[in-house]
């Protein structure tokens, strides 16, 4: 059996264990709204054509919330220093 087919079978088995659903493109087209609603609820959906993975549909990432979380994590480890005083080393501002 070709390696690609083996890997695909392993992927499908793992998808079944991790709240993922694999569907073919025809089923996806016929039931687009249903699958988009499932994805929005948190289910990950993989779309295949002729047994090959072509897309993964997931819930949208909340960019603003993600950015705030990353800023809070950065702020927890940030060290504030004097940023207005001159530094000891010379630097070229024209670069």
Per-residue pLDDT tens over the stretch 53-79 = 999 998 877 778 878 888 888 888 877
pTM: 0.50
pLDDT at 37: 93
Res 62: pLDDT: 76
Taking the CA atoms of the chain, what radius of gyration do you get in angstroms?
A: 24
Q: Looking at residue 20, what is its pLDDT? A: 76
Given a cut of 90, whether residue 31 has pLDDT beyond it is yes
CA geometry: angle at 72 spanning 70 and 44, to 5°?
40
- Tell me the three state secondary structure of residue 22: strand
| pLDDT at 69 (0 to 100) | 85
């Amino acid at each position: 059996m070709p390696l690609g087919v083996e890997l695909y079978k392993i992927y499908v088995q793992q998808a079944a264990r991790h709240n993922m659903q694999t569907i073919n493109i025809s089923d996806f087209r016929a039931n687009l709204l249903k699958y988009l609603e499932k994805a929005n609820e948190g289910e990950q959906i993989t779309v295949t054509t002729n047994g090959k993975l072509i897309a993964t549909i997931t819930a949208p990432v909340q960019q603003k919330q993600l950015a705030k979380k990353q800023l809070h994590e950065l702020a927890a480890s940030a060290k504030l220093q004097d940023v207005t005083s001159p530094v000891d080393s010379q630097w070229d501002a024209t670069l």
